Each structure stands twice: as C-alpha cells, then as structure tokens.
Amino acid sequence: MGRSAHPACARCHGLSSSAHAARNSTGARVTLQLSQSALAAFTRCPQRFYLRFVRRLQWPAPLTGSEQEWERSLHRGQELHLFIQQAALGMDVDSLVRAAGDRQLSRWWESVIEHPPPQPEGKVYSEIELTVPLGDHRLVARFDRLIVSDSGIHIVDWKTGTPQDVTRLERSWQTTVYRFVAVEASTQLTSGEAGVRPSDIGFTYWQAEAPQAPLVLVYDEAGHEAARERITAALARIEQRLAAVEEAGFERTTDLDACRHCPYRSYCERGREAAPGQEVDADFEDADTWPADAEEDLV
C-alpha cells in the first residue's frame, strides 16, 4: 500500500482558524460534530441546518401521503443495507429477504448477488464510522463498506434511490466528506504510522436501480486539498452564523422548491404539508429530512 505522510490529526486541527473560538451569540462555546448530511443541509438551507442540528427540533409538519411513501422507501433501503452487512458476516440472508415479503427489496437483493460492485480483496469493514478533528469540532463519516488492501482503501456505498450520474455524485457532500475522512483517518485502519495517499482511495457507488453500471471515482492530492478547502469554508460560515444573533444568522433559503419536502417548513411559514407529486429519494444516508432523534448527536 502506498503510504504518505498525511498526519491526520495535525492537519485536520488546522482546518478552521476560528474553530477554537467557536461560540454562539451568548458567548457559550459550541462544539460541532458534522456529517455529510449536516453539511448538505447547511448548503441547501442554513435555517434547516439550524433547526435540525443546532436546536434539534422534532418534525413539526404532518406526514403527507408522499412523505409516508418516502418513509417506507427509507425503511426498505435500511433493510437492504442490513442484509448486505449480515451477508458480509457470513449469515444466511436469503430466508430473511423472503420473510420480509417485499417484492422490490427482493429484486434489489437479487441485484446485489448477481451484479456485485467491483471491489479489491482485503479486510472488510461494514457500517463503520470514522471521525477526524476539525479544531474543537469533529467531522464524521459513516461508511457502508470499507475494504483495506495492500493497494489502499476502497469505499463502497449502496444507493437505493433514483440513480445519479457521476458528475452529481462527484460534487456531492457525501463524496467530499467520505474521501477526505478516509485519508485523514486512515491510520485508524492501517498498521503503519503514516496514512494512505489520496490516490490510494477508491470509491464505488452501487445503485440498486442501475446495478450493472457501478460508478467508480478516483481521487488525488489536488482533489484532497479542494475537499479540505470546501470543508474549511463551510465550517467557517457555520461558525460565523453561530457567533451572530443565533437563529437570525441562519437565513432561510430563497429557493422555495427546497421547502416543498422540508419537515420544518411550518416554522418558516412556508406551508404545513408537502406539495403533491414530490419525488421520493430513498437514500437514507443522504436524507437530511430525518427527525432530530433519528441519528446520534451530530452537533
């Protein structure tokens, strides 16, 4: 495995020049633990980020028919992830899939068996969480699968929502955070003192609705530094807003389409129910519309 002198902790401590002084409008120190979904929520709508990750509010809006379908799809995606994890542990999953009695879930499972994503031989970690420091804060990534081999670290992510193209996935917060954390936290997985190089990171997105066309992304030093800059900039904007009159610092999005499926829309007086016909995306890793208690503390 190619190793570099990526001193994970030392470099990440320098991500934000203001991180050690992050305080809210009352002067209280604020420590953040940020995931890709938190950063995506902040990018989409700072107010949504504030309500969910800072105030940790429950869903105020009632579930409509489209949202109930979204929750069913979310549960189906979680089931597939669980089955894949159990299979990696050597369990017989076929009987569990049949017992679920879900035709779509069965079809997805058949696709996993018949069209598995390309992945190297190595030590497999399923549903593993890694974190790296951001000054006083932490950046967290929850990986579906990590494979540590002699050639590096390979990330596999299972997608059950609408298939995405490689360009959109390449610029997503998930890709940015996962690859960055994989490099900076690589010493937690490898036996050497030095971590892996960015070029040693592979990333495969396997999409259940396009199982024969997995998307494989490559990484390099320039991409890693761009990720560092993107994360640094987002954290600086978050800290700046925390230091302002707290809620007023987290402005509402001007893109009203982004509000149509937001569970916090009633707080902003932008409607109590989602608009009909809203497309459901069932990828629970990217779902920034979870209720506040659906994840472990992220902030």
pLDDT band at 231 (very low <50, low <70, confident <90, very high): very high
Range scoring the smallest mean pLDDT among 3-7, 29-33, 154-158 = 3-7
Largest pairwise CA distance in the chain: 57
Instruction: Return the amino acid letter for 176.
Output: T
pLDDT at 149 over 70: yes
Q: Structural domain boundaries of the chain?
A: 8-275
Average pLDDT over residues 101-128: 95
Q: Is 138 left (phi over 0), alpha (psi -120 to 50) or beta?
A: beta
How many other C-beta atoms can be found within 10 angstroms of the C-beta atom of residue 192? 10
| CA atoms in the 13 A half-sphere facing the CB of 169 | 22
How far apart, in whole angstroms, are the C-alpha atoms of residue 275 and residue 280? Answer: 12
Residue-level pLDDT at 292: 32
Residue-level pLDDT at 15: 47
- Report residue 287 as tokens: 């779902």
With vertex at residue 255, the alpha carbon angle to CA 66 and CA 296, rounded to the nearest 5 degrees, is: 60
Average pLDDT over residues 2-22: 44
* CA-only gyration radius of the chain, Å: 20
Residue-level pLDDT at 66: 60
Which residues partner with 153 through β-bridges? 148, 201
Residue-level pLDDT at 175: 97
pTM comes to 0.75
Range scoring the smallest mean pLDDT among 46-55, 146-155, 233-242 = 46-55
Contact assessment for residue 11 and residue 184, using Cβ atoms and an 8 Å cutoff: yes
pLDDT tens digit string along 57-78? 766 555 555 666 767 888 899 9
pLDDT at 163 over 80: yes
Residue-level pLDDT at 32: 78
Residue-level pLDDT at 239: 85
How many residues are listed for the chain in this entry? 299
Mean pLDDT, all residues of the chain = 78
Strands 201-207 and 152-159: parallel
> Could you give phi then psi for residue 202, rounded to 5 degrees?
-110, 155
pLDDT band at 288 (very low <50, low <70, confident <90, very high): very low
Class of domain 8-275: alpha beta
Strands 201-207 and 123-134: unpaired
20 burial via Cβ count (<10 Å: 0-12, 13-18, 19+)? exposed
How far apart, in whole angstroms, are the C-alpha atoms of residue 8 and residue 183? Answer: 8
